[in-house]
Chain A
Amino acid sequence: MKHSAATRAGLAVALLLPLVAAALAAGLATGAGELSLRAALNGQEPDATVLFRLRVPRVLLAAEVGAALSVAGVALQALLRNPLADPFVFGLSGGAAVGTAIVVAASGTAVGAAAFSAASFVGLLPAQLAAVAGALTAALFVFALGRSRGQLEPTRALLVGVVFNSFASAIVLSMESILQPDQTQAVLLWLSGTLGYEAMPLLAGAGIALLVPALVLIALAGRLNLLALGDEGAAALGVDVSRTRLLAFFAASAAVGIAVAFTGLVGFVGLVVPHAVRLVVGPDHRVVLPASALGGAAFLVLADALARVLFRGLGAEPPVGAVTAIIGAPLFVMLLRSRR
């Protein structure tokens, strides 16, 4: 490994791009029904609609969300100096759950109806907006409480996040007792992480919006490496530790927020992908971050394709969050065991 980080990052990206392309092809080729690519490209119906209105948006969404969650996972693991940190560790999942539950509960009221029409104007459901608002509020809350003497303290922040998530799930459980069964179902589906079919302009917007936190984190990658030396070690090398933490935290939260807005809580991507990537490319964040973005995109596209194939016979499909957990949990244990 006597090559510069730029060379190694370039190599990793060059090797991963074909994997992403293969995953996208597999994602486009699988679905509930048979699809003739030639027919679709010639504009024949219903193949063209299935390809361009259903599969392309869905595969793109999976790729964007997978990349966002993986990049955020890497950043938070570096930030908290804890390999078990996942994108939802800052209380994001709890916050999102409470936000969604409140909106679902309020959707029967007049205020709820007004919010619904306003939100659907921009192409998002109020539950989605509420989830993002809840997640980001929780993140700010945990970030504020996880500080001591003006510095984010990894252990404290982790504990506050864990406690906040438990607290939030208690609130959601209490609210479910007053919700109608179908409302409870809606909340549950949202929390388990589902990929839907979004409009192309919205997907393009999300992709561009995700580039900002991704670039911020890649620019911070060298400093995230130095954080592994400890706050003092990093500061002695000229790193502004608290500013680096703050920037990385907000960039990661923004990426998670965008992902949560579209898909709810898709677990394990942000945990498994960074670990697998580190196993191959080493700990250098300047390589790990771009490689995780691509690896995460490929992982979620494939997980979604698998969900569609495995359950095709049953005429149903599980939420993608369940599939990522079913694949992710054993994979994660395997990765842990392989690290001696």
Chain B
Amino acid sequence: MTLLLEARDLHFRHAPGAPEAVAGASLAVRAGEVVGVIGPNAAGKSTLARICCGLLTAFSGDVFLKGEPLQRLTRRDRAQRVAFLPQQQPHDLAFTAREVALMGRAPHLGLWMLEGPRDLERADSALAEADALDLAGRSVSQLSGGERQRVFLARAFAQDAALLILDEPTASLDLAHQVLLVNALRKRARSGGGALLVLHDLALAGAACDRLVLLLAGRVIAEGAPADVLRPDILSPAYATEVDVVPDPATGQPLVAPRIAR
């Protein structure tokens, strides 16, 4: 099984003297796998995601993309191996949805950055994959938050990288589009792709991911199949709040419910 991503013992702090945001975390994504990173606020999830795609550099530890050390790859090589979708998308872009999807082709273009007919086709098929083809001609600044998110997902798909790193990809998506995204990721996984998702929605994490990594204060405190991580004795202390986990009556997948007193 090919390792699309392997991160070993990463350490990172945002400023000298600041506490470590990532303090010795390791994780891996194999081809064909969707891996979820969960954990409370400020656990280091987004920082870890950025280190894994080279946007931040760990001060110690190693990241390998398909076996190559990240630091040895050119920016272009890196962008061909991993596509990253941040939590927030720029909202004041004058570009149309199709133009934004086409931006995903950038790592495959030459010096003058001119796209060919195949890139135009790929941008449209990526828009279709994200259910955003009907938005193609509209300016991104006029779209709703969820529509914009789908357009930027299309940009990530159009990049044709084996590994997708998506930070909170479902936060602004309605239920139908959350399901659509998970299905798209699973389909990519079946054909050898992989994804690393930062997620807050634990029910979705349990349903969508093959493996979960629970992060707390920059460290991995639990890792494994959803059923092995989504347990009250693990989650309650990690999130510092009481949770119940019940099996989904239909699928048997663990469903996490916070205990809220009325």
Contacts and interface: CB of A to CB of B under 8 A. Distances in A.
Interface of A: 1-2, 4-6, 218-219, 221-223, 225-226, 228-230, 232-233, 235-240, 278, 282-284, 286
21 contacts: A1-B96, A1-B137, A4-B114, A4-B116, A4-B117, A4-B120, A218-B112, A222-B113, A222-B114, A225-B99, A225-B103, A225-B113, A232-B50, A232-B86, A235-B75, A237-B79, A237-B159, A238-B74, A240-B75, A282-B94, A284-B99
A286 B106 contact: no
Contact of B113 (A223, A228, A233, A236): A223
Nearest to B53: A236
Interface in B92-117: 93-96, 98-99, 103-104, 106-107, 109, 111-117
A240 B75 CA distance: 7
A221 B117 CA distance: 19
Contacts of B86: 232-233, 236
Contacts of B117: 4
Contact of B112 (A222, A232, A282): A222
A224 to B, nearest CB: 9
Contacts of A237: 79, 103-104, 106-107, 159
Interface of B: 50, 53-55, 74-76, 78-80, 83-84, 86, 90, 93-96, 98-99, 103-104, 106-107, 109, 111-117, 119-120, 137, 159
Nearest to A236: B84
Contact of A230 (B50, B90, B111, B113): B90
Contacts of B113: 221-223, 225, 286
A77 B86 CA distance: 24
A225 B114 contact: no
B95 A228 contact: yes
A125 B74 CA distance: 47
A106 B104 CA distance: 56
B98 A2 contact: yes
Contacts of B55: 232, 235-236
A338 to B, nearest CB: 14
A282 B99 CA distance: 10
Nearest to B100: A229
Nearest to B156: A236
Q: Which 6 A-B pairs have the closest CB atoms?
A: A222-B113, A238-B79, A283-B94, A236-B84, A238-B107, A238-B76
B115 A238 contact: no
Given A4-B116, A236-B53, 8 more contacts: A223-B113, A228-B95, A229-B90, A236-B55, A237-B79, A283-B93, A283-B95, A284-B99
